[in-house]
């Protein structure tokens, strides 16, 4: 009779019942193994971060702070450009030949540098009636006139000296101040004028012209600096002719003896006329109000009326005739 033994072989009942084998579980990763896997990536990330930081520092170090003064308008920029040309290009500031750029475009950029740009603009100047056009980089009328080597203090302007000149251009009327002298009869006037014509100068000085008066230079003439304007009264009509014998006498010698040949010698002029005698021979006003030719004509008339008796008119000098 068969009898089972007390000890029977062990059986894996679970395996037999299910017909499947349980998967073998892998042991958990140890901390040291994790560190080994992460360490290379940390190194890469740190290197990248360090490179970015160095790049920022280097970039900031290379950038320079500059100030742009473009036609008087100031702006501040940080520029990586090596020269002025590059800085202006980066800032979008154009310039052409004739414009003023300081420092020049080829100059190196420095810290806290100020770059000045002045764009050329046309200025039409009407000076004393003559027009001319100039290109200027000045921003106002005063600086433009100085640039043209003119003294603004000696000009009468159609606008204020600080008037801004736009880039598209500006038209300016100006009159120069000039010293002129007016000689009218016995009157002598020295004046400073901005008048464009002799007529304007006479009007400014309240010099009235009589009928027949002659003016030299002509009334429409422009009077430059140091012009002498002479006003010669229109001569009264010479209705009585002078004989050839009387005209041939030495009237110049008589005038030198009487007045030193000075037509303005007061009160009687070249020939020492008394006022009554002057009027008696058809003279007008006073002898000194007339030129030499008029005074000589009246002296010759007097000589003819006296029938050559010069002692009655010029007792001390008549023999010089």
In a domain? residue 249 = yes
Interval 285-303: pLDDT, tens: 899 988 899 999 999 999 9
Q: Give the residue from 116, 156, 157 showing the smallest Cα distance to 139.
A: 116
Domain end residue (candidates: 176, 204, 222): 176
pLDDT at 1 over 50: no
CA-to-CA distance for 19 and 22, rounded, in angstroms? 10
* Domain co-membership, 196 together with 152: no
In a domain? residue 221 = yes
Burial category of 201 from C-beta neighbours within 10 Å (exposed 0-12, middle 13-18, buried 19 and up): buried
DSSP H or E segment with residue 229: strand 227-232
In a domain? residue 48 = no
| pLDDT for the residue numbered 92 | 95
Contact 119, 135 (CB under 8 A): no
* Domain co-membership, 103 together with 146: no
pLDDT at 75 over 80: yes
Torsion of Cα atoms, 254 then 258 then 263 then 265, to 10°: 180
Interval 203-251: pLDDT, tens: 999 998 887 888 999 999 999 999 999 998 788 888 899 999 999 999 9
The CATH number given to whatever domain includes residue 288 is 1.10.530.10
CA-to-CA distance for 106 and 81, rounded, in angstroms? 11
* Domain co-membership, 192 together with 164: no
211 C-beta neighbours (distance < 10 Å), count: 6
Give me 61's structure tokens: 């170090």
In a domain? residue 38 = no
The CATH number given to whatever domain includes residue 204 is 3.10.20
CA-to-CA distance for 219 and 200, rounded, in angstroms? 8
Give the CA angle between residues 146, 149, 150 to the nearest 5°.
75
Average pLDDT, stretch 267-280? 93
Higher pLDDT, residue 8 or 283? 283
Count of domains for the chain: 4
* Domain co-membership, 192 together with 210: yes
Count of CA atoms in the C-beta half-sphere (13 A) of 207: 27
In a domain? residue 103 = yes
Q: For residue 134, what are the domain limits?
A: 121-176
Q: Which long-range contacts (CB under 8 A, 24 or more apart) does 136-142 make?
A: 136/165, 137/98, 137/99, 137/100, 138/165, 139/71, 139/72, 139/164, 139/165, 140/164, 140/165, 141/165, 141/170, 141/172
| pLDDT for the residue numbered 10 | 41
* Domain co-membership, 288 together with 303: yes
In a domain? residue 21 = no
Domain end residue (candidates: 199, 232, 265): 232
Q: Per mean pLDDT, which of 16-30, 60-74, 95-109 is the most reliable?
A: 95-109
The CATH number given to whatever domain includes residue 172 is 3.10.20.30
Domain end residue (candidates: 157, 176, 195): 176
* Domain co-membership, 107 together with 167: no
Give me 85's structure tokens: 């040309």
CA distances from 95 to 64, 77, 123, 124, 164 (A): 22, 18, 19, 22, 20
CA-to-CA distance for 165 and 146, rounded, in angstroms? 14
Interval 139-171: pLDDT, tens: 999 999 999 999 999 999 999 999 999 999 999
In a domain? residue 269 = yes
pLDDT at 70 over 60: yes
pTM score, whole prediction: 0.54
In a domain? residue 34 = no
In this prediction, residue 100 has a pLDDT band, given cuts at 50, 70 and 90, of very high
């Amino acid at each position: 009779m068969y009898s089972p033994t007390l000890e029977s072989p062990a059986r894996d009942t679970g395996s037999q019942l299910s017909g499947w084998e349980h998967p073998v579980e892998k042991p958990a990763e140890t901390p040291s193994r994790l560190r080994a896997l992460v360490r290379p990536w940390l190194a890469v990330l740190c290197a990248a971060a360090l490179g970015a930081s160095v790049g920022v520092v280097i970039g900031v170090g290379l950038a320079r702070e500059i100030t742009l003064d473009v036609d008087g308008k100031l702006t501040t920029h940080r520029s990586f450009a090596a020269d002025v040309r590059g800085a202006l290009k980066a800032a979008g500031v154009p310039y052409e030949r004739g414009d003023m750029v300081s420092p020049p475009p080829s100059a190196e950029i420095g810290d806290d540098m100020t770059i000045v740009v002045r764009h050329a603009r046309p200025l039409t100047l009407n000076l004393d009636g003559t027009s001319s056009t100039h290109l200027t980089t000045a921003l106002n009328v005063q600086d433009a006139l100085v640039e043209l080597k003119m003294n603004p203090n000696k000009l009468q302007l159609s606008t204020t000296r600080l008037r801004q000149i736009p880039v598209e251009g500006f038209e300016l009327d100006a009159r120069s101040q000039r010293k002129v002298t007016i000689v009218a009869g016995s009157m002598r006037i020295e004046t400073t004028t901005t008048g464009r014509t002799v007529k304007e100068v006479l009007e400014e000085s309240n010099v009235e012209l009589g009928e027949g008066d002659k003016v030299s230079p002509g009334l429409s003439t422009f009077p430059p600096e140091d012009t002498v304007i002479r006003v010669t009264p229109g001569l009264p009509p010479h209705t009585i002719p002078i004989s050839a014998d009387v005209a041939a006498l030495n009237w110049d010698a008589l005038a030198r003896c009487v007045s030193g040949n000075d037509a303005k010698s007061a009160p009687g002029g070249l020939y020492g006329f008394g006022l009554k005698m002057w009027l008696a021979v058809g003279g007008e006003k006073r002898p000194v109000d007339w030129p030499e030719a008029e005074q000589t004509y009246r002296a010759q008339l007097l000589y003819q009326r006296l029938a050559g008796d010069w002692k009655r008119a010029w007792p001390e000098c008549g023999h010089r005739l």
